[in-house]
Amino acid sequence: MDVIQTAIPDVFILQPTVFGDDRGFFFESFSHQQFETAIGRSVNFVQDNHSKSSKGVLRGLHYQLAPHAQGKLVRCIAGEVFDVAVDIRKSSPTFGQWVGVHLSGENKRQLWIPEGFAHGFMTLSDTAEFLYKTTHYYAPESDRGIRWNDETLAITWPKIDSEILTSTKDSIAKSLPDAEHFI
């Protein structure tokens, strides 16, 4: 597995080693030991999530407040998404900055998004299935959102030939300056 640094320290792209043969392919999609070595600390994942989205669906940007903050190890197993992590740790030198990565069933990349980040993704293919592990259980009372097209973040989402479809909750989310921050 290769570990690729992003523009924000603490956010990593994990590129697994894929073994292809006449039958198809095999790869280790998660190794606790390798993962902790890659990010340099111990982590306890407690929940796995799976969503399916159609083209133009944009989920996020979501985070949970402390003490329910979630680290997320995310990947796309079919189709392609543009995945974004926004640093919302008030004390961070990269506060308000974002990282965007194409994740797909083809490239098999995973993105590690630690606690203290808002997360979202745009679906670029006709459909996309998205899997992720979280370090804390879902806590609806701590669930918060930041508007995906917040001008203060100025995320460069890919241009697609489809309408953007969000949940009602996401369409009325706050901008970063008005949001409750994790730290």
Ligand X SMILES: Cc1cn([C@H]2C[C@H](O)[C@@H](COP(=O)(O)OP(=O)(O)O[C@H]3O[C@@H](C)C(=O)[C@@H](O)[C@H]3O)O2)c(=O)[nH]c1=O
Binding site for ligand X (CB under 6 A): 49, 51, 59-60, 62, 72, 119-121, 138, 167
Q: Residue of minimal CB distance from ligand X?
A: 138
37 vs 175, which CB is nearer to ligand X?
A: 175
The least distance separating ligand X from the CB of residue 26, rounded to whole angstroms, comes to 28
Q: What is the dihedral of CA 143, 75, 12, 59, to 10 degrees?
A: -40
Question: Is 119 labeled as catalytic in the residue annotation?
Answer: no
The least distance separating ligand X from the CB of residue 66, rounded to whole angstroms, comes to 15
Question: Is 137 labeled as catalytic in the residue annotation?
Answer: no
Q: Which residues contact 29 (CB under 8 A, 6 or more apart)?
A: 16, 75, 110
Residue 58 tokens, joined: 């944009």
Answer yes or no: are the C-beta atoms of 137 and 59 closer than 8 Å: no
Write down the catalytic residue from 119, 132, 136, 181.
Answer: 132
Answer yes or no: are the C-beta atoms of 63 and 136 closer than 8 Å: no
The least distance separating ligand X from the CB of residue 168, rounded to whole angstroms, comes to 9
Answer yes or no: are the C-beta atoms of 117 and 62 closer than 8 Å: no
CA gap 158, 81 in Å, rounded: 10
The least distance separating ligand X from the CB of residue 132, rounded to whole angstroms, comes to 7
Rounded to the nearest 5°, which phi and psi values hold at 32? -55, -45
Positions marked active-site: 62, 132
